């Protein structure tokens, strides 16, 4: 069990208490061994991690730009912010499972197919951590949206994740 206690110096501490029953040969309890361990630093580290994750999530959700996070191997949307939903005219129940290419016309203005251009950029991310590119996307009504995309790649669980900031 974990407890919050007041230390003799007045500070708050967190401890973890463990008890181990000692039984005699008849299976009767003869005594309890107890151990108390100060876990204050672990509690503080856990709280700091949670606060950091919360702040990063707030920055992500409230960013000016639309953001998609896609899995490199499948190109499927792994995460998104509310501005991505607005940009594409889609709701949260529809976006997961879609691929990045679902939001692209067949060809980009330079004549390359969107699939080929996206594959080349994602491969390039394995060498560089950040790629900037002009791109045409489309919303659910099929309207084309000229924008600038910033692709940022990281490796996670033996796959790549690509964060796409759309401005």
Q: What is the 3-state secondary structure (H, E, C) of 9-48?
A: CCCEEEEEEEEEEEECCCCCEEEEEEEEEECHHHHHHHHH
Helices (H) and strands (E) in the chain, counts: 4, 8
Alpha carbon 100 to its chain centroid, in Å, reads: 17
Query: Residue 103, class by beta-carbon neighbours within 10 Å (0-12 exposed, 13-18 middle, 19+ buried)?
Result: buried
Q: Tell me, what's the pLDDT at 160? A: 85
Is the torsion defined by CA of 144, 150, 151, 156 positive or negative?
A: negative
**What is each CA distance from 156 to 9, 83, 100, 115, 160, in whole angstroms?**
44, 24, 18, 23, 6
Cβ proximity of 163 and 79 under 8 Å: no
* Confidence (pLDDT) at 158: 85
* Structure token digits, residue 137: 């996307």
Residue showing tokens 């950091």: 52
**89 near 141, Cβ under 8 Å?**
yes
What pLDDT tens digit does each residue of the chain (167 aa) get?
999 999 999 999 999 999 999 999 999 999 999 999 999 999 999 999 999 999 999 999 999 999 999 998 888 999 999 999 999 999 999 998 899 999 999 999 999 999 999 988 888 887 777 889 999 999 999 999 999 999 998 888 888 899 999 99
Q: Which two tokens stand for residue 155?
A: 């490796």
Q: Which of 139, 138, 136 is closest to 147 using CA atoms?
A: 136
Residues 128, 58: Cα–Cα separation, whole Å: 27
Instruction: Tell me the whole-structure pTM to 2 decimals.
Output: 0.78
Output the pLDDT for position 156. 82
């Amino acid at each position: 069990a974990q407890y919050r206690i007041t230390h003799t110096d007045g500070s708050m501490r967190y401890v973890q208490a463990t008890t181990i029953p000692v039984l005699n040969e008849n299976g009767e309890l003869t005594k309890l061994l107890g151990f108390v361990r100060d876990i204050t630093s672990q509690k503080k580290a856990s709280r700091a991690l949670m606060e950091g994750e919360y702040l990063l999530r707030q920055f992500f959700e409230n960013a000016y730009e639309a953001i998609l996070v896609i899995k490199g191997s499948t190109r499927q949307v792994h995460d998104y912010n509310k501005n991505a939903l607005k940009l594409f005219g889609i709701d949260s129940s529809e976006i997961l499972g879609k691929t990045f290419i679902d939001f692209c016309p067949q060809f980009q203005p330079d004549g390359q197919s969107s699939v080929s251009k996206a594959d080349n950029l994602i491969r390039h991310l394995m060498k560089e951590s950040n790629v900037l590119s002009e791109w045409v996307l489309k919303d659910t009504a099929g309207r084309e949206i000229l924008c600038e995309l910033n692709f940022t790649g990281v490796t996670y669980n033996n796959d790549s994740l690509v964060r796409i900031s759309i401005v």
